[in-house]
Amino acid sequence: MAKAKTSKTTKVRNLFSTGNSVTWKTLRSKFDLRSPASMVGKLRNEGMMIYENRTSAGVSYRVGSPSKAVIAAGQAALFGAQGYSA
């Protein structure tokens, strides 16, 4: 029985799940991605919280936990601003 082929998306998702930063060049060369930014965007749309770090050395990405502000903004976008008055 042949082993099922793992998709590029799954391979990149597994790489991010290690918790280490991943450079743009690594995504481009190791996974033969034409646009690593579009892969990161796709994973963000799937719910991964991926942060981008731009330095003079280049761009790197890491997975993190969403801040309270990000969660509040998402809830406000979904449910609207709910003002409470006493």
Q: Is residue 15 part of a domain?
A: yes
In a domain, 13, yes or no: yes
Average pLDDT of 53-60?
90
Residue 42 domain boundaries: 8-75
Between residues 67 and 42, which one has the greater pLDDT? 42
Structural domain tally of the chain?
Answer: 1
Model confidence band, residue 69 (pLDDT cutoffs 50, 70, 90): confident
Q: What is the pLDDT of residue 74?
A: 83
- The dihedral over CA atoms of 32, 37, 42, 47, expressed in degrees to the nearest 10, equals 120
Does residue 17 fall inside a structural domain? yes
55: in domain: yes
Q: Is the pLDDT of residue 41 over 90?
A: yes
Residues β-bridged to residue 41: none
pTM given for the model: 0.71
- Distant-in-sequence contacts of 37-43, Cβ < 8 A, 24+ apart: 39/8, 39/9, 39/12, 42/9, 43/9, 43/12, 43/13, 43/16
More confident: 3 or 42: 42
**Residue at 23 is within a domain:** yes
- Determine, yes or no, domain membership for 84: no
